[in-house]
């Protein structure tokens, strides 16, 4: 599984760090960041999934496995009609 953490949404509840501290270190103010590779090893998926579901503000999201970031296939803005 591959995940993303949106720090602009994180509200510093620290629940993710409780479930998966190696993946979600907290800064001095209690806000989480994503440590290391966004691709989660199968052995860590259960803890990271628990963190994803328990985050009160949904700051952690699961990405499609083929995700390569904005601007690549599958992320283009919808086409608009032109006349």
CB under 6 A: which stretch of 14-22, 41-49, 63-71, 73-81 binds ligand SF4? 14-22
> For residue 16, what are its two tokens?
């993710």
How far apart CA 20 and CA 60 sit, in angstroms, is: 12
* DSSP reduced 3-state for 32: strand
Other CB atoms within a 10 A radius of the CB of residue 3 amount to: 22
22 contacts ligand SF4 (rule: CB under 6 A): no
Between residues 35 and 72, which has the closer beta carbon with respect to ligand SF4? 35
15 contributes a contact to ligand SF4 by CB under 6 A: yes
Q: Is 67 a residue that touches ligand SF4 (CB under 6 A)? A: no
- How many helical (H) and strand (E) elements, i.e. helices and strands, does the chain have? 2, 2
What are the residues binding ligand SF4 (CB under 6 A)?
5, 10-16, 24, 32, 55, 57, 59-60
């Amino acid at each position: 599984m591959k995940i993303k953490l949106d720090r602009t949404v994180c509200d510093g509840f620290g629940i993710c760090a409780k479930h998966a501290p190696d993946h979600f270190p907290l800064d001095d103010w209690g806000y989480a960041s994503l440590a290391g590779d966004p691709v989660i090893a199968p052995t860590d998926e259960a803890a990271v999934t628990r963190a994803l579901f328990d985050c009160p503000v949904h700051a952690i999201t699961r990405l499609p496995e083929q995700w390569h970031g904005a601007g690549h296939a599958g992320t283009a803005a919808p086409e608009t009609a032109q006349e």
